[in-house]
């Protein structure tokens, strides 16, 4: 995976073009009697809600079209690996043919996942991936995403300076990988130094409170904020409430972040970038599970799709399509995921 694995308009067009020329990957066996279950570990922010909506919209369509018999979803109220393990055990007992999972932890669910695999039930993880050898993983290059945040700041702030890092949900693979990429970026651009770190749980309100709590202990000259998506607006509010100078805050894909960015751009040309994973990656995972049930051969266990990125010249077009509370996303088609399977072999 290169250092430019982003979902720009050109990348979307290329994926669509490739999907038109995908060779038959399998016998495309009938899956109309198959039942797919989705185990989600957490839903307490707008990104997760958008992710669940993407799944639900696709689920209704594929069941109505006779692609599968069911595409049910269950969510644990908190980021609780123990509850999710029980949820997965129940899905196995209930006879689902495939399981999609957004995991609370990359390793703690491996035993029950291996049990599913042993019974011939394919398990496809996404966003919060798992490390079980038998499982499939659909995601973006989160390490690269974190690295690109610092690379972008190096372009905007060549003299470097102090950074605040806002991490996501502790214990998840996403949080660990994005943070790794950010620290790789700081190593590559040593003019920057991370002087503070908080966990914002990918939620605006949690982020605002966490940043407000740490700001009094930080140097006055914070030049940039590196985030994991969904954190930007909360960080901006905390800096404003504290009377601090406005840093360059790398944004996610939520409407409140992009709207604030536009306000600042209109005010004085404020420049930043947006990097995030599309909530619709849940639909990508569905199609991988469906293709496995349809008999697809040689499906790679790790499938990378591009992440979303908007810059100064294109974020307003994305914002114009959003209502307050929305999250920018993309819904993946069967043909696109067949192309992705082929490309990742």
Per-residue model confidence (pLDDT) at position 54:
96
pLDDT band, residue 2 (cuts 50/70/90):
very low
* Among 339, 299, 288, 306, residue whose Cα is nearest residue 16: 339
CB atoms within 10 A of CB 231: 33
Contacts of 60 (CB under 8 A, 6+ apart): none
CB atoms within 10 A of CB 131: 16
The pLDDT of residue 307 is above 70 = yes
User: Which two structure tokens, joined as six digits, stand for 327?
Assistant: 């999250």
Residue pLDDT, tens place only, 87-136: 999 999 999 999 999 999 999 999 999 999 999 999 999 998 999 999 99
Q: How far apart are CA 206 and CA 209, in angstroms?
A: 5
The pLDDT of residue 13 is above 70 = no
Per-residue model confidence (pLDDT) at position 314:
96
Q: Looking at the chain, which runs of residues are DSSP E strands?
A: 6-7, 35-40, 70-75, 98-102, 123-126, 136-139, 161-167, 192-199, 222-226, 248-249, 274-276, 302-304, 307-310
List the end-to-end C-alpha distance of the chain, in Å, as a whole number: 12
Residue pLDDT, tens place only, 20-61: 444 444 448 999 999 999 999 988 888 899 999 999 999 999
Q: What CA–CA distances, in Å, run from 310 to 29, 124, 261?
A: 38, 28, 11
- The mean predicted confidence, pLDDT, of the chain is 92
User: Which two structure tokens, joined as six digits, stand for 168?
Assistant: 């996501």
What residues does each domain of the chain span? 6-140+278-311+329-343, 142-276
Q: How far apart are CA 345 and CA 338, in angstroms?
A: 11
Using CB atoms within 10 Å of the CB of residue 324, give its burial: 0 to 12 exposed, 13 to 18 middle, 19+ buried.
exposed
| CATH tag for 6-140+278-311+329-343 (out of 3.40.50.2300, 3.40.50.150, 3.30.565.10, 1.10.4030.10) | 3.40.50.2300
CATH of domain 142-276: 3.40.50.2300
Q: What CA–CA distances, in Å, run from 236 to 66, 208, 248?
A: 46, 8, 9
Q: How far apart are CA 226 and CA 198, in angstroms?
A: 11
Whether 142-276 and 6-140+278-311+329-343 are alike in CATH topology: the answer is: yes
Per-residue model confidence (pLDDT) at position 230:
82
pLDDT band, residue 1 (cuts 50/70/90):
very low
The pLDDT of residue 18 is above 80 = no
pLDDT band, residue 66 (cuts 50/70/90):
very high
Per-residue model confidence (pLDDT) at position 84:
96
Give the residue carrying structure tokens 């996404």.
126
Residue pLDDT, tens place only, 169-226: 898 889 999 999 999 999 999 999 999 999 999 989 999 999 999 999 999 999 999 9
User: Which two structure tokens, joined as six digits, stand for 193?
Assistant: 């130094």
Contacts of 281 (CB under 8 A, 6+ apart): 51, 126, 127, 138, 139, 140, 305, 332
Per-residue model confidence (pLDDT) at position 46:
86
Q: What angle do CA 58, 168, 87 make, to 5 degrees?
A: 50
* Contact between residue 47 and residue 316 where contact means Cβ atoms under 8 Å apart: no
Per-residue model confidence (pLDDT) at position 272:
98
pLDDT band, residue 19 (cuts 50/70/90):
very low
Q: How far apart are CA 115 and CA 130, in angstroms?
A: 14
Residue pLDDT, tens place only, 244-265: 999 999 999 999 999 999 999 9
User: Which two structure tokens, joined as six digits, stand for 300?
Assistant: 């790679």
The pLDDT of residue 3 is above 60 = no
């Amino acid at each position: 995976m290169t250092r430019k694995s982003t979902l720009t308009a050109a990348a979307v067009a290329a994926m669509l073009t490739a999907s038109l020329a995908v060779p038959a990957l399998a016998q495309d066996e009938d899956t109309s009697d198959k039942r797919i279950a989705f185990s989600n570990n957490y839903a307490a922010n707008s990104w997760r809600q958008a992710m669940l909506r993407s799944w639900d919209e696709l689920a209704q369509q594929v069941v109505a079209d006779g692609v599968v018999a069911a595409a049910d979803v269950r969510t644990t109220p908190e980021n609780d690996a123990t509850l999710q393990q029980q949820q997965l055990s129940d899905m196995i007992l209930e006879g689902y043919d495939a399981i999609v999972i957004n995991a609370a932890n990359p390793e703690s669910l491996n035993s029950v996942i291996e049990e599913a695999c042993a019974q011939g039930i394919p398990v496809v993880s996404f966003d919060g991936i798992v490390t079980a050898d038998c499982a499939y993983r659909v995601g973006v290059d989160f390490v690269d995403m974190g690295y690109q945040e610092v690379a972008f700041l190096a372009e905007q702030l060549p003299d470097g300076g102090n950074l605040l890092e806002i991490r996501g949900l502790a214990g998840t693979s996403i949080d660990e990988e994005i943070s790794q990429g950010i620290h790789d970026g700081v190593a590559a651009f040593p003019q920057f130094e991370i002087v503070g770190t908080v966990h914002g749980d990918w939620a605006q309100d949690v982020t605002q409170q966490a940043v407000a709590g740490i700001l009094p202990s930080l140097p006055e000259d914070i030049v940039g904020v590196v985030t994991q998506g969904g954190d930007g607006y909360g960080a901006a509010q905390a800096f404003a409430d504290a009377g601090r100078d406005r840093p360059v805050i790398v944004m996610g894909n939520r409407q409140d972040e992009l709207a604030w960015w536009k306000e600042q751009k209109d005010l004085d040309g404020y420049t930043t970038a947006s990097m995030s994973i599309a909530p619709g990656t849940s639909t990508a995972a569905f199609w991988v599970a469906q293709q496995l049930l349809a008999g697809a051969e040689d499906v790679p266990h790790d499938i990378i799709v591009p992440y979303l990125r908007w810059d100064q010249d294109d974020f307003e077009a994305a914002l114009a399509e959003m209502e307050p509370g929305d999250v920018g996303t993309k819904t993946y088609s069967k043909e696109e995921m067949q192309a992705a399977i082929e490309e990742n072999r």
